[in-house]
Structure 1
Amino acid sequence: MSLRNLVVLTGAGISAESGISTFRDQQGLWEKHSIEEVATPEAFARDPEKVLNFYNQRRAQLRQRKIKPNPAHKALASFEKKWLAKGGQFLLISQNVDNLHVRAGSQRLVNMHGQLMSALCPRSGRALPWQGDLTQEHLCECCDPPQLLRPDIVWFGEVPYHLEACYQALEAADLFISIGTSGQVYPAAGFMQLAQQVGAQTVEINLEKTSDTFEQGYYGPASQEVPRFFKQLLA
């Protein structure tokens, strides 16, 4: 097998067809809120109720029956299982905070920006599974005095999760595949350059081209392009 170590990065574009609003979409949830209002530690300190309500709405969306993994999520999970069985290495790095990769069956998964279905103690860093709404009545049980739980989301100005694992995988990568990401949010926006520096092949799968530096590009809906690409790769 000429290719052995694969690293895949996914962004909001892979979940858009499942009905999840994308970060920069003009029709998306973020249009009605500035970053400073709902996506910084300072915003949470200033107006926790507004921030909690914003993420409660996003969490509620994930609980809707119509929101489910699409063929792109399922193709990645299926490919991972088969690729590992062939002796390959695989890491899926997601910028998304939804749970669709997990529900599709992905195992080698890093959620670098956190998870909606999780609450976080801001002092201890302890994360708790969380399905329902978070309110100002929900306090941690690990600190004295108890701390107000916050969404387990990496906000602007904070360090993404599992960066060391991401960089280690990129340093060993033979192939880096970027799916449905704008390439504008760092540090993930720099992953392609890091992969190229170690000699990895680079591929973009997206609705439209975001960069001329990818060696290959496949453009169209993720639910069509992702299954097609990974089926060919496995063959």
Structure 2
Amino acid sequence: MITTDVETGRRRLLALIEGARAVLPFTGAGISTECGIPDFRSPGGVWTKNAPIDFRDFVARRAMRDEAWRRRFALEEQFGAAQPGRGHHALASLWRAGRAPAVVTQNIDNLHQASGVAAQDVVELHGNTTYALCLSCAARYEIAWVRERFDATGHAPDCACGGHIKTATVSFGQAMPEAEMRRAEELTLRCDLFLAIGSSLVVWPAAGFPLLAKRNGARLVILNREPTEFDEIADLVVHADIGDVLAPLVSH
């Protein structure tokens, strides 16, 4: 069923959740837009203004590393000030109630953790932009430390080991994190209700999880403002504001 009516969507979603044994939320950028986090792909999004930097270019060219960090610092006000929205709090409620064992996310904003979901139960397929890692030794660096040295020299700093420091995100051309992908697959195969929330479902291989869940016998719900390629196979599709639809779950 496809609906644009918030009340109908809420009612049917709650019924599916009540009847489910294991719910797996899978989130994309749409759950965070009400928090002030910019979307990347939609008209007016980040990538319509600046083409993404390929991982190979980041590694090969200092100028690209400098540009990548300039862009990250330009977004600091939005990422740094963002607080979890109604959707994040709703999914945290599901997790605290034991209805959702984890949250799988394509987002890099750390808002699921900020909403109260334990870090070990947030499966980040595309990494996290709130800290940085050395690409060689995996040493962790805080964004403020990188910013201080960038401002002092005009260049992105390198690690003490000589490796390049990059936000802990997955860039174009960079391998997906094996452990996170493996865990997301395991969770998908164990759930009987898969909630795809705020994702355009066009970025592979992450977009394959809803299809895997459906083929494995789980119910599939898609909550997104715009249509997706998987709408026709879903058990429920709600094209409405994500926060409006999920808000009742916070107190349910």
1:176 aligns with 2:194: yes
1:117 aligns with 2:134: no
Tell me what 1:202 maps to: 220
Which of 16, 21, 30 pairs up with 1:4? 21
Using structure 1 for the length normalisation, give the TM-score.
0.85
- Compared with structure 1, are the counterparts of its residues 89 and 21 closer, same or farther at alpha carbon in structure 2 (3 Å cutoff)? closer
Which of 83, 97, 101 pairs up with 1:90? 101
The CA deviation at 1:60 is 3.5
Across the aligned residues of Structure 1 and Structure 2, the Cα RMSD in angstroms comes to 2.1
What is the rounded CA distance, in whole Å, between the counterparts of 1:106 and 1:129 in structure 2?
A: 21
Aligned length: 221
Identical columns (%):
28
Which of 33, 53, 57 pairs up with 2:70? 53
Q: Relative to structure 2, which stretch is displaced further, 100-109 or 11-20?
A: 100-109
Which of 146, 163, 168 pairs up with 1:147? 163
Which of 125, 130, 133 pairs up with 2:143? 130
What is the rounded CA distance, in whole Å, between the counterparts of 1:27 and 1:89 in structure 2?
A: 33
1:164 aligns with 2:182: yes
SS state at 1:60 partner: helix
The CA deviation at 1:28 is 1.9
**Which structure's residues are more often helix, by fraction?**
2
SS state at 1:212 partner: helix
Using structure 2 for the length normalisation, give the TM-score.
0.80
Structure of greater relative contact order (alpha carbons < 8 Å, 6+ residues apart): 2
What is the rounded CA distance, in whole Å, between the counterparts of 2:27 and 2:144 in structure 1?
A: 23
Residue pair 1:56, 1:133 contacting (<8 A) in 2 also: no
What is the rounded CA distance, in whole Å, between the counterparts of 1:8 and 1:105 in structure 2?
A: 15
What is the rounded CA distance, in whole Å, between the counterparts of 1:14 and 1:75 in structure 2?
A: 11
- Compared with structure 1, are the counterparts of its residues 131 and 169 closer, same or farther at alpha carbon in structure 2 (3 Å cutoff)? farther
Partner amino acid, structure 2, of 1:10: T
Residue pair 1:7, 1:93 contacting (<8 A) in 2 also: yes
- Compared with structure 1, are the counterparts of its residues 39 and 74 closer, same or farther at alpha carbon in structure 2 (3 Å cutoff)? farther
- Compared with structure 1, are the counterparts of its residues 213 and 62 closer, same or farther at alpha carbon in structure 2 (3 Å cutoff)? same
Partner amino acid, structure 2, of 1:78: S
